[in-house]
Amino acid sequence: MTVRMHKRIRDKGKTPLSKIFTKLNEGDKVVLLHNLSFTRVFPPRFQGRIGVVRGMRGRAYKVELMDGGKNKTFITNQIHLKKLK
């Protein structure tokens, strides 16, 4: 799996404020999606994984997901999370 290090032409521009100020509740299902505008350090094996929000640590969210048959906790900003319906 290759990881893009730049945005596609349609995705370029500022990140919408609604995405930055998204509030998630504990127990919400989310998808981990790397937002290339904010950080270059993002483990590629977690791209596209589905997890459950388990709480907050400061302004970041703790997301629990399965990796290799084990539960792992991934701490990330809400910019990299997309809520599932």
Instruction: Give 76 or 4, the one with higher predicted confidence.
Output: 76
In a domain, 4, yes or no: no
- The domain of 70 spans 9-83
Overall average pLDDT of the 63-79 stretch? 92
CATH number of the domain bearing residue 69:
2.30.30.70
In a domain, 33, yes or no: yes
In a domain, 20, yes or no: yes
Q: What is the DSSP letter of 64?
A: E
Band the pLDDT of 1: cuts 50, 70, 90. low
What pTM value is reported for the model?
Answer: 0.80
Instruction: Give 1 or 82, the one with higher predicted confidence.
Output: 82
Structure confidence at residue 26 (pLDDT): 96
Structure confidence at residue 31 (pLDDT): 95
- Express each pLDDT in 26-57 by its tens digit: 999 999 988 877 766 788 888 899 999 999 99
SS (H, E, C) 29-54: EEEECCCCCCCCCCCHHHCCCEEEEE
